[in-house]
Amino acid sequence: MPSTNLPLSGVPRTMLMTTRARVEEHQRDDGLFRDPTIAEWWPTLQWDEALDSMYNPIAQLTWAVRAYLFDQIVQRHLGTYTDATVVELGAGLSTRYYRVGQSCHRWIELDLPEVTELRRYFDHESDRHRFVSASALDPSWMDTVPDGLPASRLIIAEGLLMYFEKAQVQALIAHLKQRFPGATLAFDAVGGVTHGQGSKQLARLGAPLKWFVKNEADVVAMGLRLMEVRSLLQENCRYRDRIGIFRWVPWFSQLPPLRNAGLVIEARL
Ligand SMILES: C[S@@+](CC[C@H](N)C(=O)[O-])C[C@H]1O[C@@H](n2cnc3c(N)ncnc32)[C@H](O)[C@@H]1O
């Protein structure tokens, strides 16, 4: 039997933090979403204490807001396309399918083998909800995406691309454009200002951030057509009453380096 105590390392290890953020959001009376599925899985997962130094209320809010923004993208997409296919690259233990995706025609959760093995321990695969064990950087996963209207495909990369080298991101986008022209790519990117303490801690955990953008013009230069761009810091500010430290931030979040510290980008391939 697979174990939930699989020793995760490198980037896969980071998904414990984003998972915990969703559990705690679910538990809040004023949470942005309910996520009973991850709350049910969580007690069986083993928290990694080495992540304690990176996990705090601001990080929790940021990852919850980010998940909520991606949920909204999915809801809009499923409202437009009845035969949609959604692919989550670097899905971790995403439970978005259960939160907002069950009307989807086909949903694919893709992650590296150790994480997909963990998912299989908790989750049940079906024709509609597939699990793919692969690197997003190996384009052969694209063969698992069923035929369909190009525009009906939504590919999500939440908390993933910043761990790749710029050339790897560029190559992935080029492959996606070639295979799924007209599809939507939704992802987040980090700005140079994130080269701080958090970035150093991630590097010590074996998950260094590698791809930084100045702003969304950098992804336009990679051949993407922008649909919508949201600043994570500006979105966080909507909920600043939850965290006193944000009281002074709304004005500063208009400054480009802070506005661009974390961007959630929806783009046409
Ligand atoms: C920060 S976690 C985000 C997980 C999930 N998207 C979320 O927001 O909860 C990064 C995820 O990317 C996965 N990952 C890292 N490198 C990958 C690769 N080359 N291909 C696919 N997944 C990868 C990790 O295993 C991990 O689950």
**Gap between the Cα atoms of 15 and 30, Å rounded:** 23
Q: Which residue's structure tokens are 């174990």?
A: 3
Q: What angle do CA 141, 147, 150 make, to 5 degrees?
A: 95
Quick check: CB of 11 below 6 Å from ligand 1? yes
Listed residue (88, 163, 98) closest to 131, CA to CA: 88
Query: What are the tens digits of pLDDT across the range 92-148?
Result: 999 999 999 999 999 999 999 999 999 999 999 999 999 999 999 999 999 999 988
Amino acid at 113: P
Measured by CA distance, the residue closest to atom 24 of ligand 1 is 12
For the segment 171-229, what is each residue's pLDDT rounded down to a tens digit? 999 999 999 999 999 999 999 776 776 788 889 889 999 999 999 999 999 999 999 99
CATH architecture of 65-268: 3-Layer(aba) Sandwich (3.40)
As a whole-number percent, the residues of the chain with pLDDT over 70 amount to 95
CB of 112 sitting under 6 A from ligand 1: yes
The pLDDT of residue 253: 80
Cα–Cα distance, 37 to 67 (Å, whole number): 15
Contacts of 240 (CB under 8 A, 6+ apart): 246, 247, 249, 250
Q: Is the CB of 94 under 6 A from ligand 1?
A: yes
**Is 95 in contact with 38 (CB distance < 8 Å)?**
yes
CB 161 within 8 A of CB 211: yes
Cα 81 to ligand 1 centroid, rounded to whole Å: 26
Alpha carbons 32 and 47: distance in angstroms, whole number: 23
CA distance 151 to 12: 30
Collapsing DSSP to helix, strand or coil, 102 comes out as: coil
Tell me if 21 CB under 6 Å of ligand 1. no
Task: Give the chain's length.
Answer: 269
Atom 27 in ligand 1: which residue has the minimum CA distance?
Answer: 92
pLDDT at res. 242? 85
pLDDT at position 5 is: 62
pLDDT above 60 (res 3):
no
Question: Cα-flanking dihedrals φ and ψ of residue 134, to 5°?
Answer: -165, 165
Whole-prediction pTM value?
0.95
- Which ligand 1 atom sits nearest the alpha carbon of residue 88? 6
| pLDDT reported for residue 243 | 78
Q: Beta strands 129-133 and 106-111: pairing type?
A: parallel
In ligand 1, the atom with minimum distance to the C-alpha of 22 is 9
Distance 257 CA to ligand 1 centre (A): 25
CA atoms within a 13 Å half-sphere pointing along the CA-CB vector of 230: 21
Of 73, 77, 100, 223, nearest to 152 by C-alpha is 77
Q: How far is the CA of 90 from the centre of ligand 1 (A)?
A: 3
Token look-up 């709304």 returns 250
From ligand 1's centre to the CA of 115, what distance in Å?
8
Backbone angles phi, psi at 189, to 5 degrees: -135, 150
Q: How far is the CA of 3 from the centre of ligand 1 (A)?
A: 19
Task: Provide the sign of the torsion angle of the four alpha carbons 93, 94, 95, 101, taken in this order.
Answer: negative
